[in-house]
Amino acid sequence: MLLRLIARTALHAGLVLGLSACSVLGVRDDVYVDLVGLEPLPSHDMEARFAVKLRVQNPNESAIRYNGIALELRMNNRPLAAGVSDESGEIPRYGEKVISVPITISAFSVLRQAWGVAQHTPSSRTGVPYELNGKLGGGLWGAARFTDSGELTLPDDTQAQ
């Protein structure tokens, strides 16, 4: 009987501590990511490589520690480029950091994009839709995922004259 009372009390105390720990940790907001640069890297035969510079902003009250980053760039709803980096670091609370990630664009991806553009008539094309998806790996909270999307508008040659 005494053991049962001790076990029940310990269980209740564990539940209360667990719930209070969750409320103290709170909810983390998504990071903001912007593309701020693109530099060419040495490439091999049928690929192009670039160093993508991303500005990552942390809108949270605690720093985000990361150990690795991965990203994928899609254009016209088709994969174009992907990259990973084992860089590690920390983005301070309410702070920002520029992170460099090498990406690879294969010849097959370029052909797939060209085929997709050829399927649309130029008069119906106002811009090229893109989507950037990625994650900052590791840390206490696991991966911090991010996404950015929009449309790249091509210059209009008719208004330049």
* Cα 24 to chain centroid, rounded: 26
For residue 24, the one-letter residue type is V
CA-CA distance, 80 to 47, in Å (whole number)? 11
CATH 2.40.50.180 applies to domain 28-118+130-140: no
Name the CA dihedral angle for 14, 27, 61, 98, rounded to a multiple of 10 degrees: 130
Q: What is the pTM of this model?
A: 0.68
Say yes or no to pLDDT of 45 above 80: yes
More confident residue, 23 or 41: 41
Percent of the chain residues topping a pLDDT of 70: 70
- Left if phi > 0, otherwise alpha if psi is -120 to 50, otherwise beta: which for 68? left
